[in-house]
Structure 1
Amino acid sequence: MSETSPPMPLLDDTALETLDDFLESDHVDPEALDLIGAHGFLVALAIAPIETPAATWIAELFHGEPQFTDAAQREQMLGLCEALKQNAIDALEHGHLPELPFDLELGGLPPEETPIGDWCAGFMEGVFLHEGAWFEHDEARVAELLLPFMALSGLFEDEPDMHELITDDARAEALVKQLPELILDLYLHYRVPEEKPKPTPRKKKPAGRPGSKGRR
Protein backbone atom coordinates (compact mmCIF):
# COMPACT_ATOMS: atom_id res chain seq x y z
CA MET A 1 0.00 0.00 0.00
CA SER A 2 0.98 3.65 -0.27
CA GLU A 3 2.36 3.76 3.31
CA THR A 4 5.11 1.24 2.54
CA SER A 5 5.52 1.09 -1.24
CA PRO A 6 7.72 3.66 -3.00
CA PRO A 7 5.94 5.99 -5.45
CA MET A 8 5.43 4.35 -8.84
CA PRO A 9 6.92 5.99 -11.96
CA LEU A 10 4.29 6.41 -14.67
CA LEU A 11 6.82 6.22 -17.53
CA ASP A 12 10.45 5.19 -17.50
CA ASP A 13 13.19 7.77 -18.04
CA THR A 14 13.69 6.91 -21.71
CA ALA A 15 9.98 7.31 -22.49
CA LEU A 16 9.81 10.60 -20.60
CA GLU A 17 12.83 11.91 -22.50
CA THR A 18 11.31 10.89 -25.83
CA LEU A 19 8.04 12.67 -25.02
CA ASP A 20 9.92 15.70 -23.70
CA ASP A 21 11.95 16.01 -26.92
CA PHE A 22 8.80 15.89 -29.00
CA LEU A 23 6.94 18.48 -26.90
CA GLU A 24 9.92 20.83 -27.22
CA SER A 25 10.23 20.31 -30.97
CA ASP A 26 8.91 22.35 -33.89
CA HIS A 27 6.29 19.67 -34.49
CA VAL A 28 4.27 21.07 -31.59
CA ASP A 29 2.61 24.46 -31.11
CA PRO A 30 4.64 26.74 -28.79
CA GLU A 31 1.56 27.08 -26.57
CA ALA A 32 1.37 23.32 -25.96
CA LEU A 33 2.00 21.94 -22.49
CA ASP A 34 5.58 21.00 -21.69
CA LEU A 35 6.48 17.60 -20.25
CA ILE A 36 5.82 18.63 -16.63
CA GLY A 37 2.46 20.21 -17.47
CA ALA A 38 1.50 17.26 -19.68
CA HIS A 39 2.28 14.87 -16.82
CA GLY A 40 -0.06 16.76 -14.49
CA PHE A 41 -2.72 17.02 -17.20
CA LEU A 42 -2.70 13.28 -17.89
CA VAL A 43 -2.79 12.39 -14.20
CA ALA A 44 -5.90 14.58 -13.88
CA LEU A 45 -7.47 12.66 -16.78
CA ALA A 46 -6.68 9.41 -14.96
CA ILE A 47 -8.59 10.68 -11.91
CA ALA A 48 -11.47 12.39 -13.72
CA PRO A 49 -14.94 10.99 -12.99
CA ILE A 50 -15.75 10.81 -16.71
CA GLU A 51 -13.73 9.73 -19.73
CA THR A 52 -12.40 12.46 -22.03
CA PRO A 53 -12.45 11.68 -25.79
CA ALA A 54 -8.96 11.42 -27.26
CA ALA A 55 -9.63 14.18 -29.78
CA THR A 56 -10.49 16.56 -26.92
CA TRP A 57 -7.45 15.94 -24.74
CA ILE A 58 -5.05 15.83 -27.69
CA ALA A 59 -6.21 19.27 -28.84
CA GLU A 60 -5.86 20.63 -25.31
CA LEU A 61 -2.49 19.09 -24.46
CA PHE A 62 -0.83 19.90 -27.79
CA HIS A 63 -2.78 23.11 -28.42
CA GLY A 64 -4.06 21.65 -31.67
CA GLU A 65 -2.94 18.69 -33.75
CA PRO A 66 0.87 18.33 -33.81
CA GLN A 67 2.67 18.13 -37.14
CA PHE A 68 3.63 14.49 -36.88
CA THR A 69 6.29 13.25 -39.27
CA ASP A 70 4.26 10.16 -40.09
CA ALA A 71 1.68 7.76 -38.69
CA ALA A 72 4.35 5.87 -36.76
CA GLN A 73 5.43 8.99 -34.86
CA ARG A 74 1.81 9.86 -34.13
CA GLU A 75 1.18 6.40 -32.74
CA GLN A 76 4.35 6.54 -30.66
CA MET A 77 3.72 9.94 -29.05
CA LEU A 78 0.04 9.48 -28.40
CA GLY A 79 0.82 5.99 -27.16
CA LEU A 80 3.23 7.42 -24.58
CA CYS A 81 0.53 9.82 -23.37
CA GLU A 82 -2.02 7.03 -23.15
CA ALA A 83 0.49 4.83 -21.32
CA LEU A 84 1.19 7.54 -18.74
CA LYS A 85 -2.52 7.98 -18.10
CA GLN A 86 -3.23 4.25 -17.92
CA ASN A 87 -0.24 3.62 -15.65
CA ALA A 88 -1.58 6.29 -13.30
CA ILE A 89 -4.96 4.52 -13.25
CA ASP A 90 -3.31 1.15 -12.59
CA ALA A 91 -1.19 2.54 -9.75
CA LEU A 92 -4.07 4.34 -8.08
CA GLU A 93 -6.40 1.38 -8.52
CA HIS A 94 -3.98 -0.66 -6.41
CA GLY A 95 -3.61 2.07 -3.80
CA HIS A 96 -0.11 3.16 -4.87
CA LEU A 97 1.07 6.76 -5.04
CA PRO A 98 2.35 8.02 -8.41
CA GLU A 99 5.89 9.28 -8.71
CA LEU A 100 5.82 12.97 -9.60
CA PRO A 101 8.46 14.45 -11.93
CA PHE A 102 9.92 16.86 -9.38
CA ASP A 103 11.23 17.04 -5.83
CA LEU A 104 8.51 17.71 -3.27
CA GLU A 105 9.95 20.99 -2.06
CA LEU A 106 9.81 24.60 -3.21
CA GLY A 107 13.15 25.64 -1.77
CA GLY A 108 11.87 29.12 -0.95
CA LEU A 109 10.77 29.85 -4.53
CA PRO A 110 7.25 30.91 -5.52
CA PRO A 111 5.37 27.83 -6.82
CA GLU A 112 4.83 29.34 -10.27
CA GLU A 113 8.61 29.52 -10.72
CA THR A 114 9.05 25.79 -10.10
CA PRO A 115 8.09 22.54 -11.86
CA ILE A 116 5.59 22.05 -9.03
CA GLY A 117 3.58 25.05 -10.20
CA ASP A 118 3.80 23.91 -13.83
CA TRP A 119 2.60 20.42 -12.92
CA CYS A 120 -0.32 21.73 -10.86
CA ALA A 121 -1.29 24.14 -13.66
CA GLY A 122 -1.34 21.20 -16.09
CA PHE A 123 -3.39 19.19 -13.61
CA MET A 124 -5.95 21.99 -13.31
CA GLU A 125 -6.18 22.19 -17.12
CA GLY A 126 -7.29 18.58 -16.97
CA VAL A 127 -9.90 19.46 -14.35
CA PHE A 128 -11.23 22.35 -16.43
CA LEU A 129 -12.08 20.00 -19.31
CA HIS A 130 -15.04 18.65 -17.29
CA GLU A 131 -15.17 20.93 -14.28
CA GLY A 132 -18.86 20.33 -13.67
CA ALA A 133 -18.36 16.58 -13.40
CA TRP A 134 -15.55 16.98 -10.88
CA PHE A 135 -17.76 19.05 -8.56
CA GLU A 136 -21.06 17.30 -9.21
CA HIS A 137 -21.00 15.21 -6.04
CA ASP A 138 -19.88 16.53 -2.63
CA GLU A 139 -18.60 19.85 -3.93
CA ALA A 140 -17.17 20.88 -0.56
CA ARG A 141 -15.05 17.75 -0.27
CA VAL A 142 -13.72 18.05 -3.84
CA ALA A 143 -12.89 21.73 -3.30
CA GLU A 144 -10.95 20.76 -0.16
CA LEU A 145 -8.97 18.08 -2.00
CA LEU A 146 -8.24 20.33 -4.98
CA LEU A 147 -7.23 23.38 -2.92
CA PRO A 148 -3.47 22.60 -2.88
CA PHE A 149 -3.42 22.00 -6.65
CA MET A 150 -5.26 25.27 -7.22
CA ALA A 151 -3.09 27.27 -4.84
CA LEU A 152 0.20 25.93 -6.19
CA SER A 153 -0.82 26.24 -9.86
CA GLY A 154 -0.54 30.03 -9.91
CA LEU A 155 -3.81 30.20 -11.87
CA PHE A 156 -5.72 31.70 -8.94
CA GLU A 157 -3.17 34.17 -7.59
CA ASP A 158 -5.70 37.02 -7.60
CA GLU A 159 -7.84 35.22 -5.03
CA PRO A 160 -6.82 36.39 -1.52
CA ASP A 161 -7.20 32.97 0.12
CA MET A 162 -4.94 31.32 -2.45
CA HIS A 163 -2.36 34.09 -2.25
CA GLU A 164 -2.23 33.78 1.53
CA LEU A 165 -1.58 30.03 1.31
CA ILE A 166 1.40 30.24 -1.02
CA THR A 167 3.05 33.30 0.53
CA ASP A 168 3.40 31.44 3.82
CA ASP A 169 6.47 29.31 3.10
CA ALA A 170 5.71 26.65 5.70
CA ARG A 171 2.11 26.23 4.56
CA ALA A 172 3.12 26.15 0.90
CA GLU A 173 5.72 23.45 1.55
CA ALA A 174 3.11 21.45 3.47
CA LEU A 175 0.75 21.65 0.48
CA VAL A 176 3.48 20.29 -1.81
CA LYS A 177 4.14 17.32 0.47
CA GLN A 178 0.42 16.43 0.35
CA LEU A 179 0.18 16.20 -3.45
CA PRO A 180 0.81 12.44 -3.93
CA GLU A 181 -1.66 11.45 -1.20
CA LEU A 182 -4.24 13.91 -2.51
CA ILE A 183 -4.00 12.37 -5.99
CA LEU A 184 -4.92 9.00 -4.48
CA ASP A 185 -7.63 10.55 -2.30
CA LEU A 186 -9.23 12.18 -5.33
CA TYR A 187 -9.14 8.96 -7.32
CA LEU A 188 -10.77 7.04 -4.50
CA HIS A 189 -13.36 9.78 -4.02
CA TYR A 190 -14.74 9.06 -7.48
CA ARG A 191 -14.28 5.27 -7.44
CA VAL A 192 -15.19 4.07 -3.95
CA PRO A 193 -18.88 4.41 -3.08
CA GLU A 194 -19.72 6.07 0.21
CA GLU A 195 -20.77 3.74 2.97
CA LYS A 196 -24.39 4.29 3.75
CA PRO A 197 -25.26 4.19 7.44
CA LYS A 198 -27.01 1.02 8.44
CA PRO A 199 -30.67 1.54 9.25
CA THR A 200 -31.50 1.52 12.93
CA PRO A 201 -33.46 -1.61 13.74
CA ARG A 202 -37.02 -0.92 14.75
CA LYS A 203 -37.69 -1.68 18.36
CA LYS A 204 -40.33 -4.26 18.91
CA LYS A 205 -43.09 -3.20 21.22
CA PRO A 206 -43.40 -5.48 24.23
CA ALA A 207 -46.38 -7.74 23.95
CA GLY A 208 -49.07 -7.11 26.51
CA ARG A 209 -49.58 -9.68 29.21
CA PRO A 210 -52.39 -12.11 28.57
CA GLY A 211 -55.59 -10.90 30.08
CA SER A 212 -54.20 -7.43 30.85
CA LYS A 213 -56.41 -5.59 28.38
CA GLY A 214 -59.40 -3.99 30.01
CA ARG A 215 -58.21 -4.67 33.56
CA ARG A 216 -59.04 -2.06 36.10
Structure 2
Amino acid sequence: MQRFPARAVMSDAETPLPQPLLEDQELDLLDDFLDSDRVDADALDLIGAHGFLVALAVAPSDVPAATWVAELFHGEPAFEDDAEREAILGLLERLRHTAIEVLEGGGLPELPFELELGELAPEETPIGDWCAGFMEGVFLDEAAWFADDEEAAATLLLPFMLLSGLFEDEPDMAELAGDSARLEGLVAQLPELLLDLYLHYRVPPETPKPKPRRKAPASRGKGHKR
Protein backbone atom coordinates (compact mmCIF):
# COMPACT_ATOMS: atom_id res chain seq x y z
CA MET A 1 0.00 0.00 0.00
CA GLN A 2 1.25 3.49 -0.81
CA ARG A 3 2.16 5.70 2.11
CA PHE A 4 1.26 9.32 2.63
CA PRO A 5 4.04 11.87 3.01
CA ALA A 6 5.06 12.37 6.62
CA ARG A 7 4.57 15.92 7.85
CA ALA A 8 5.93 17.74 10.84
CA VAL A 9 3.18 19.07 13.10
CA MET A 10 3.18 22.87 13.18
CA SER A 11 1.47 25.00 15.76
CA ASP A 12 -1.05 27.64 14.73
CA ALA A 13 1.58 30.29 15.42
CA GLU A 14 3.97 28.65 12.95
CA THR A 15 1.44 28.14 10.14
CA PRO A 16 1.26 31.14 7.78
CA LEU A 17 -2.17 32.43 6.81
CA PRO A 18 -3.23 31.32 3.30
CA GLN A 19 -2.93 34.10 0.71
CA PRO A 20 -5.55 34.67 -2.03
CA LEU A 21 -4.29 34.28 -5.58
CA LEU A 22 -6.82 36.72 -7.05
CA GLU A 23 -9.25 39.25 -5.62
CA ASP A 24 -12.86 38.11 -5.11
CA GLN A 25 -14.18 40.26 -7.94
CA GLU A 26 -11.57 38.83 -10.29
CA LEU A 27 -12.57 35.30 -9.36
CA ASP A 28 -16.21 36.27 -9.95
CA LEU A 29 -15.33 37.56 -13.41
CA LEU A 30 -13.57 34.30 -14.29
CA ASP A 31 -16.43 32.28 -12.83
CA ASP A 32 -18.99 34.10 -14.96
CA PHE A 33 -16.95 33.65 -18.12
CA LEU A 34 -16.13 29.97 -17.56
CA ASP A 35 -19.78 29.28 -16.78
CA SER A 36 -21.03 31.06 -19.92
CA ASP A 37 -22.16 29.43 -23.16
CA ARG A 38 -19.21 31.02 -24.94
CA VAL A 39 -16.96 28.35 -23.42
CA ASP A 40 -16.97 24.68 -24.43
CA ALA A 41 -19.13 22.50 -22.19
CA ASP A 42 -16.10 20.33 -21.37
CA ALA A 43 -13.93 23.26 -20.30
CA LEU A 44 -12.83 23.50 -16.68
CA ASP A 45 -15.01 25.54 -14.35
CA LEU A 46 -13.54 28.06 -11.92
CA ILE A 47 -12.73 25.50 -9.21
CA GLY A 48 -11.12 23.08 -11.67
CA ALA A 49 -9.23 25.89 -13.42
CA HIS A 50 -7.88 27.09 -10.07
CA GLY A 51 -6.51 23.62 -9.29
CA PHE A 52 -5.18 23.27 -12.84
CA LEU A 53 -3.26 26.56 -12.68
CA VAL A 54 -1.85 25.86 -9.21
CA ALA A 55 -0.53 22.55 -10.58
CA LEU A 56 1.18 24.49 -13.37
CA ALA A 57 2.72 26.77 -10.74
CA VAL A 58 4.15 23.74 -8.92
CA ALA A 59 5.10 21.73 -12.03
CA PRO A 60 8.77 20.80 -12.51
CA SER A 61 8.82 22.33 -15.99
CA ASP A 62 6.97 25.23 -17.59
CA VAL A 63 4.18 24.34 -20.03
CA PRO A 64 3.73 26.75 -22.97
CA ALA A 65 0.75 29.06 -22.49
CA ALA A 66 -0.79 28.01 -25.82
CA THR A 67 -0.80 24.39 -24.60
CA TRP A 68 -2.40 24.94 -21.21
CA VAL A 69 -4.91 27.52 -22.48
CA ALA A 70 -6.17 25.07 -25.12
CA GLU A 71 -6.44 22.32 -22.49
CA LEU A 72 -8.22 24.48 -19.93
CA PHE A 73 -10.82 25.72 -22.43
CA HIS A 74 -10.94 22.60 -24.62
CA GLY A 75 -10.38 24.85 -27.60
CA GLU A 76 -10.78 28.58 -28.20
CA PRO A 77 -13.65 30.36 -26.38
CA ALA A 78 -15.88 32.78 -28.24
CA PHE A 79 -14.33 35.96 -26.83
CA GLU A 80 -16.27 39.12 -27.59
CA ASP A 81 -13.13 40.94 -28.67
CA ASP A 82 -9.38 41.12 -28.16
CA ALA A 83 -9.82 43.17 -25.00
CA GLU A 84 -11.89 40.45 -23.33
CA ARG A 85 -9.46 37.77 -24.48
CA GLU A 86 -6.55 39.71 -23.01
CA ALA A 87 -8.42 40.32 -19.75
CA ILE A 88 -9.46 36.69 -19.19
CA LEU A 89 -6.13 35.15 -20.18
CA GLY A 90 -4.36 37.80 -18.12
CA LEU A 91 -6.31 36.81 -15.00
CA LEU A 92 -5.54 33.13 -15.54
CA GLU A 93 -1.85 33.82 -16.00
CA ARG A 94 -1.80 36.08 -12.94
CA LEU A 95 -3.41 33.37 -10.82
CA ARG A 96 -0.64 30.98 -11.85
CA HIS A 97 2.10 33.55 -11.33
CA THR A 98 0.77 34.64 -7.93
CA ALA A 99 0.74 31.01 -6.81
CA ILE A 100 4.42 30.79 -7.74
CA GLU A 101 5.21 33.98 -5.80
CA VAL A 102 3.33 32.80 -2.70
CA LEU A 103 4.95 29.36 -2.68
CA GLU A 104 8.38 30.75 -3.51
CA GLY A 105 8.13 32.89 -0.39
CA GLY A 106 7.20 29.87 1.73
CA GLY A 107 3.56 30.96 1.96
CA LEU A 108 0.37 28.98 1.52
CA PRO A 109 -2.13 29.62 -1.30
CA GLU A 110 -5.74 30.21 -0.34
CA LEU A 111 -7.99 27.59 -1.92
CA PRO A 112 -11.50 28.48 -3.17
CA PHE A 113 -13.41 26.23 -0.74
CA GLU A 114 -13.69 25.33 2.92
CA LEU A 115 -11.07 22.80 4.00
CA GLU A 116 -13.53 20.19 5.23
CA LEU A 117 -15.57 17.43 3.60
CA GLY A 118 -18.56 17.56 5.89
CA GLU A 119 -19.03 13.76 5.75
CA LEU A 120 -19.32 13.84 1.94
CA ALA A 121 -17.19 11.91 -0.52
CA PRO A 122 -14.47 14.18 -1.98
CA GLU A 123 -15.83 13.86 -5.54
CA GLU A 124 -19.15 15.27 -4.31
CA THR A 125 -17.50 18.50 -3.15
CA PRO A 126 -15.52 21.39 -4.66
CA ILE A 127 -12.46 19.77 -3.07
CA GLY A 128 -12.74 16.84 -5.46
CA ASP A 129 -13.29 19.19 -8.41
CA TRP A 130 -10.22 21.23 -7.47
CA CYS A 131 -8.03 18.15 -7.06
CA ALA A 132 -9.31 16.76 -10.38
CA GLY A 133 -8.31 20.06 -12.01
CA PHE A 134 -4.93 19.83 -10.29
CA MET A 135 -4.41 16.33 -11.69
CA GLU A 136 -5.36 17.61 -15.18
CA GLY A 137 -2.40 19.95 -14.81
CA VAL A 138 -0.19 17.01 -13.86
CA PHE A 139 -1.39 14.95 -16.85
CA LEU A 140 -0.43 17.81 -19.17
CA ASP A 141 3.24 16.87 -18.71
CA GLU A 142 3.07 13.70 -16.62
CA ALA A 143 6.52 12.46 -17.64
CA ALA A 144 8.18 15.54 -16.13
CA TRP A 145 6.47 15.03 -12.75
CA PHE A 146 7.77 11.45 -12.45
CA ALA A 147 11.09 11.80 -14.26
CA ASP A 148 13.60 12.23 -11.41
CA ASP A 149 12.14 10.26 -8.51
CA GLU A 150 9.00 8.30 -9.38
CA GLU A 151 8.44 6.98 -5.85
CA ALA A 152 8.74 10.40 -4.21
CA ALA A 153 6.44 11.94 -6.84
CA ALA A 154 3.81 9.24 -6.32
CA THR A 155 3.94 9.76 -2.55
CA LEU A 156 3.62 13.54 -2.79
CA LEU A 157 0.81 13.39 -5.35
CA LEU A 158 -1.13 10.62 -3.61
CA PRO A 159 -3.37 12.95 -1.54
CA PHE A 160 -4.38 14.89 -4.66
CA MET A 161 -4.99 11.69 -6.60
CA LEU A 162 -7.10 10.24 -3.81
CA LEU A 163 -9.19 13.37 -3.26
CA SER A 164 -9.75 13.86 -7.00
CA GLY A 165 -11.90 10.73 -7.30
CA LEU A 166 -10.23 9.99 -10.65
CA PHE A 167 -8.58 6.80 -9.42
CA GLU A 168 -11.41 5.20 -7.43
CA ASP A 169 -11.25 1.99 -9.49
CA GLU A 170 -7.72 1.24 -8.32
CA PRO A 171 -7.77 -1.23 -5.38
CA ASP A 172 -5.36 0.72 -3.15
CA MET A 173 -7.28 3.93 -3.72
CA ALA A 174 -10.63 2.32 -2.92
CA GLU A 175 -9.28 1.12 0.41
CA LEU A 176 -7.84 4.51 1.34
CA ALA A 177 -11.00 6.32 0.24
CA GLY A 178 -12.91 4.45 2.93
CA ASP A 179 -10.92 6.11 5.72
CA SER A 180 -12.95 9.30 6.25
CA ALA A 181 -10.77 10.56 9.11
CA ARG A 182 -7.66 10.31 6.96
CA LEU A 183 -9.41 12.09 4.09
CA GLU A 184 -10.41 14.96 6.38
CA GLY A 185 -6.82 15.22 7.56
CA LEU A 186 -5.56 15.43 3.98
CA VAL A 187 -8.08 18.12 3.09
CA ALA A 188 -6.99 20.23 6.07
CA GLN A 189 -3.36 19.89 4.95
CA LEU A 190 -3.87 20.69 1.25
CA PRO A 191 -2.17 24.12 1.34
CA GLU A 192 0.84 22.69 3.20
CA LEU A 193 0.98 19.71 0.83
CA LEU A 194 1.16 22.16 -2.08
CA LEU A 195 4.14 23.84 -0.47
CA ASP A 196 5.80 20.43 -0.04
CA LEU A 197 5.33 19.77 -3.75
CA TYR A 198 6.69 23.17 -4.72
CA LEU A 199 9.78 22.73 -2.58
CA HIS A 200 10.33 19.26 -4.05
CA TYR A 201 10.07 20.35 -7.68
CA ARG A 202 11.05 23.99 -7.79
CA VAL A 203 13.58 24.55 -5.00
CA PRO A 204 16.78 22.57 -5.47
CA PRO A 205 18.40 21.18 -2.31
CA GLU A 206 21.18 23.28 -0.91
CA THR A 207 24.58 22.02 -1.94
CA PRO A 208 27.14 21.99 0.84
CA LYS A 209 29.74 24.69 0.60
CA PRO A 210 33.11 23.36 -0.48
CA LYS A 211 35.55 23.02 2.36
CA PRO A 212 38.56 25.31 2.10
CA ARG A 213 41.65 23.49 0.98
CA ARG A 214 44.27 23.08 3.62
CA LYS A 215 47.43 24.90 2.81
CA ALA A 216 50.46 22.74 2.41
CA PRO A 217 53.01 23.48 5.11
CA ALA A 218 55.85 25.64 3.95
CA SER A 219 58.92 23.62 3.18
CA ARG A 220 61.42 23.76 5.98
CA GLY A 221 64.89 24.89 5.44
CA LYS A 222 64.25 26.21 1.95
CA GLY A 223 67.55 26.76 0.26
CA HIS A 224 69.44 25.07 3.12
CA LYS A 225 72.31 22.95 1.91
CA ARG A 226 73.05 19.74 3.67
TM-score when normalising by structure 2: 0.84
Tell me the amino acid that sits aligned with residue 72 of structure 2.
L
Match of 2:130 in 1: 119
- Kept in 1, the 8 Å contact 2:54–2:96? The answer is yes
Shift of 1:163: 1.4
Match of 2:88 in 1: 77
CA distance in 1, matches of 2:47, 2:143: 25
- Return 184-193 or 32-41, whichever deviates more: 184-193
Say yes or no: does 1:61 pair with 2:75.
no
Report the aligned-residue RMSD. Answer: 1.7
Q: Deviations over 1:40-63 (max 9, x none)?
A: 000000011111111110111011
CA distance in 1, matches of 2:156, 2:146: 11
Q: In structure 1, list runs of 5 or more residues that go unmatched.
A: 200-216
Which of 110, 120, 126 does residue 99 from structure 1 map onto?
Answer: 110
Shift of 1:5: 2.6
Which of 29, 32, 54 does residue 21 from structure 1 map onto?
Answer: 32
Q: In structure 2, list runs of 5 or more residues that go unmatched.
A: 1-12, 211-226
CA distance in 1, matches of 2:54, 2:142: 15
- Kept in 1, the 8 Å contact 2:58–2:202? The answer is no
Say yes or no: does 1:37 pair with 2:40.
no
Say yes or no: does 1:178 pair with 2:189.
yes
How many pairs align? 199
CA distance in 2, matches of 1:195, 1:92: 17
Which of 141, 146, 155 does residue 166 from structure 2 map onto?
Answer: 155
CA distance in 1, matches of 2:136, 2:184: 22
Shift of 1:194: 2.9
Q: Percent sequence identity over matched residues?
A: 72
CA distance in 2, matches of 1:138, 1:197: 21
CA distance in 1, matches of 2:176, 2:14: 27
The 1:139–1:198 alpha-carbon spacing in structure 2 relative to 1, beyond 3 Å, is farther
Which of 121, 128, 135 does residue 139 from structure 2 map onto?
Answer: 128
Give the SS at the match of 1:141.
helix
